[in-house]
Amino acid sequence: MTQTRAIVITGNGTNCEMEAAHACRLGGFDVAVIAHISEILSGEISLDDFHFLNLTGGFLDGDDLGSAKAQANRLIHGVVSGSGEKLVDQFTRFIGAGKLILGVCNGFQLMVKMGMLPGFDGDYLRQSVTLTHNDCGRFQDRWTYLKVNPASPSVFTAGIEKGIYLPVRHGEGKFLTDTPATLARIEEGHLAVLRYSDATYGETALEFPANPNGSVNGIAALCDPSGRIMGLMPHPEAFVNYTQHPRWTREELPVDGDGLILYKNAAQYVRNNLI
């Protein structure tokens, strides 16, 4: 039987790779490989051999050119040693094969800087949205309530009834679009998967601190029209077990943390559609 295979890219300032790989295994993937970007550029590892790509949080290249911008340039223009293939061609082939990509925090920033999201009209290399400095002017490390859009095509949030509770930790998490027309198209296509909300997952949060960064329309997560490619600022890999909840000693909680459903859904999708 074919194994379900996830890959987590690390290097140049990422972190959370261990947590992301652990979440993939808990979610049901048979294999979760942590690969340094240099291993992919050298040709030692190919994205073609995997079903689920994870782009993790961190501080790529120290955010010196803005969050994830240097890595975006590296992935778009980098060439794989030996083959002469552009690395970005592996990404577009991965997407074309119907596989899954999840970008978390710095990984989400990378996806939008590459142009991978929102992926209108099958164009995954044109940037039309961004993530920029929080309105509060400082790094935020707090837990947030996120209401789900039940009409979203996202593979990852299937089965979530109201919302999930996850931590954020970022300085550049404010979601913006290049034009009002882009925002309208995102809303019309239900591509805004998660929004910062109140504790009942009712009202969208537009003000600090429930909305920790000032994102337009409270958008915390975005997917492409296929629902197979998604980025979010909150960290699902940081809440896969109840002991990671900030009040786990004071509340009765289910064993699985709220973030684990994203990885379970990914593994189930791969089993049903890709192997």
Q: Give the residue carrying structure tokens 């050119």.
A: 65
Question: 17, 19, 172, 237: which is the annotated catalytic residue?
Answer: 237
Report whether 224 contacts 185 (CB < 8 A): no
Q: Is 237 a catalytic residue?
A: yes
Which of these is catalytic: 16, 24, 105, 223?
105
Phi-psi category of residue 40: left, alpha or beta, with phi > 0 → left and psi -120 to 50 → alpha: alpha
Distance CA 18, CA 8 (A): 9
Which runs of consecutive H residues, i.e. helices, occur in the chain? 17-27, 37-41, 69-77, 87-96, 106-114, 180-188, 260-273
Residue 235 known to be catalytic: yes
Q: Is 136 a catalytic residue?
A: no
Taking each helix axis from N to C terminus, what angle separates 106-114 and 69-77, rounded to the nearest 10 degrees? 50
Q: Which residues contact 5 (CB under 8 A, 6 or more apart)?
A: 29, 30, 31, 32, 33, 49, 50, 51, 52
Active-site residue set = 105, 235, 237
